[in-house]
Structure 1
Amino acid sequence: MSITSVQEELSRIDREEELAEVERFGHAEALRVGQWIVDNAIADNRVIAVTIFLGEQRVFHAALAGTNHDNDLWLDRKANLVKMYGRSSYYVKNLFLSYGRDFFTDSLHDPHVLAAAGGGFPVRVRGSLVGVIAVSGAWTDGGERAEHELPIAALSALRATQVLEV
């Protein structure tokens, strides 16, 4: 991937993170978003695990048949990265790439604790980080970008219902 395409990807992720902000996010919204992700993964024949944090509390977790403990480890590492950087795990991966660096080898972070890969996404309410969604799974196409897009789609669906409720 060229530096120009990485810069374009960073700009796209910036917009995605901004557009995925929601009006409110609590336990009920976490359940709705988590169930939306599970339902859509099943409909698309995707094998995933998903976890959602509200602050430091894990308020939703589901693992579809075909996932294993390794998926849970990826979820936690992606969520930890979002909590530390306040950005999606895919953004951080591409940020390092934009400097010609690899997060896993150049960040000085323990790769058993943090992972810069698609699938970890910040939940923001009016600009404030209130939670994290992390997805890990076997994707037949799209790779990390597909993992990155699933939380965006779920938050966009939630946001649309919140706009209608106002």
Structure 2
Amino acid sequence: MWKQRHLDALADEEGLDFPFFDHARAWKLGSAMVSTAVDAALPVTIAIAFGEQRVFHAALAGSAATNDDWMARKFRAVAKHNCSSWAVACEARTEPEDYYIYGGYRTEDIALAGGAVPLRVCGSLIGAVGVSGLSEYDDHRFAVDAIRAFRASVTP
């Protein structure tokens, strides 16, 4: 089950690449995500990062500071593994070794939970788009769907 979810998570990332992505696009994508979340009354935090810099952040009603902590840890999973935090979480659940012990990671630094998706330009990882506040799969799905919809709406 987790092996298939890992493969599905990697497949989710296909086609999410951009020819370019700047601060203005981050604002537009983040704003579109906020609009969708507000319309559905979702208690989430939404963030977009370029490397270590948060270039968009919104904490909606019902979210908490712990969502910011989760987001930072999910973003580190993307940066370390160059795939979504959901893909990392699913793969870790297929392995017999403890992810944290085997990899030398600390739970305070990396989250094995869905919700952060790589932000790529011409195949290169430049950051991540993240959601925190729903179930880990729903966080992942929200981010992927938002990127896919935004990508379809912008001209190259």
Maintained 8 Å contact 1:29/1:158: no
Residue 84 of structure 1: how far off its partner (Å): 1.4
- Contact (CA 8 Å) 2:7, 2:87: kept in 1 or not? no
Contact kept in structure 2, 1:49 and 1:72, CA below 8 Å: yes
Given residue 28 of structure 1, which amino acid in structure 2 is its aligned partner?
Answer: A
Q: Which moved more, 1:94-103 or 1:69-78?
A: 94-103
Counterpart of 1:57 in structure 2: which amino acid?
A: Q
The aligned residue for residue 146 of structure 2 is 154
Contact kept? 1:47, 1:66, Cα under 8 Å = yes
- SS where residue 19 of structure 1 aligns? coil
Q: Structure 1 pair 42/106, CA: closer, same or farther in 2 (3 Å)?
A: farther
| C-alpha distance in 1 between matches for 2:88 and 2:35 | 28
TM-score calculated relative to the size of structure 2 = 0.91
Q: Structure 2: state its 5+ residue gaps.
A: none
Equivalent pairs, count? 156
Aligned to 2:42: 46
Equivalent pair of 1:86/1:122 in contact (CA under 8 Å)? yes
Question: What secondary structure sits across from 1:135 in the alignment?
Answer: strand
Q: CA deviation at 1:102?
A: 4.9
Which runs of 5 or more structure 1 residues have no equivalent in the other structure?
none
Which residue identity lines up with residue 41 of structure 1 in the other structure? A
Cα deviation digits, residues 39-94 of structure 1 (max 9, x gap): 11111121001111112221000001221111111111111111111111110111
The verdict on how the C-alpha distance between 1:23 and 1:99 changes in structure 2, with shifts beyond 3 A counting, is same
Equivalent of 2:119 in 94, 119, 123: 123
Conserved? CA contact 2:10–2:84, under 8 Å: no
More helix by share: 1
**Identity of aligned pairs, percent?**
33
TM-score normalised to the size of structure 1? 0.86
Structure 1 residue matching 2:143: 3-state secondary structure: helix
